Amino acid sequence: MLAFSDLRTAAYCPRQLWYARKHDDRAPPDRVDAVREVATRYHELLDAETDTGQPDPLADAPIEAPPGTWRERVERVREREPRFRDLDRPAATDVFLAGRECHGVASKVLPDPPLPSLVSPGRPPEQGVWEPHAVWAVAAAKALAWERERRVDEAVVEYPAYGVVRRVRLTTRKKAAYRSAIREVRELDAPPERLDDTAKCDPCRFANECGVATRTLRSRLAER
Ligand code: SF4
């Protein structure tokens, strides 16, 4: 049985998964918990009376957008996302799901029809979700479908630090990315090739060991 987190990492970079396994370093960063909490306080942070002289609770929340922008975005989600109320006041959080091929924790599971939601502490792309998150969404939807013995064709990915919530449909392309990640994890028995994508390598915690030139190193070399 494969872990959601391994699939997600393999979709980002199979070599990163190799290092994560070697160092047994697969714990999520601490920041995840603080941001995940924001994803259960949308109504409170959105509707706070900011003109009463009381401190704005958003000022202490771990958000990465100006408070006005954050509120505009979440207000738009509240208007357009039909499951917003369930997302905002989830009946079930940190739900362990075990499917036919993989298992892991969904940040939220909305009831009837069942829909998994996954909370990312990071920044969203301009549109849709990052490829590793699409793979994570497919894995969670498939595991939930397996457990409940019914179709689950969608998932949600939330980027609460930015006030962004996106639906993910299980399209043919996304399911193909999921299958590719499954193969990568199953066949990982030697260090895979390095990526040719410095944008992905720059934030990688294994960049030194991997031997790629990160932005910091590149700029240091350019100064010589
Ligand atoms: S530095 Fe780049 S190639 Fe190396 S493990 Fe990290 S993401 Fe993968």
Residues 9 and 116 in one domain: yes
Return the pLDDT at 105: 96
Residues 122 and 213 in one domain: no
Q: Would you state the structure tokens that stand for residue 193, as one six-digit string?
A: 């090739």
Residues 138 and 211 in one domain: no
Instruction: Check the CA dihedral 62-107-170-185 and report its sign.
Output: positive
Mutate to test the pocket of ligand 1, among 22, 202, 210 (most ligand atoms within 8 A of CB): 210
Q: Can you tell me the distance from the alpha carbon of 15 to that of 20, in angstroms, rounded to the nearest whole number? A: 9
CA of 219 from ligand 1 middle (Å) equals 18
Residues 203 and 107 in one domain: no
93-124, pLDDT tens digit by residue? 999 999 999 999 999 999 999 999 999 999 99
Domain count, the chain: 2
Ligand 1 neighbour 10 (Cβ under 6 A): no
Q: Can you tell me the distance from the alpha carbon of 4 to that of 89, in angstroms, rounded to the nearest whole number? A: 24
For residue 162, what is the DSSP state?
Answer: G
Residues 43 and 115 in one domain: yes
133-165, pLDDT tens digit by residue? 999 999 999 999 999 999 999 999 999 999 999
Amino acid in the structure at residue 91: A
Closest CA to 152 of 168, 131, 165, 164: 168
Q: Answer yes or no: pTM beyond 0.75.
A: yes
Cβ atoms of 173 and 11 closer than 8 Å: no
pLDDT higher than 90, residue 48 = no
Residues 49 and 107 in one domain: yes
Residue 155 sits in which domain range?
A: 2-193
52-66, pLDDT tens digit by residue? 677 888 888 999 999
119: CATH: 3.90.320
Residues 205 and 125 in one domain: no
Residues 204 and 145 in one domain: no
Residues 207 and 128 in one domain: no
CA of 7 from ligand 1 middle (Å) equals 15
Ligand 1 neighbour 13 (Cβ under 6 A): yes
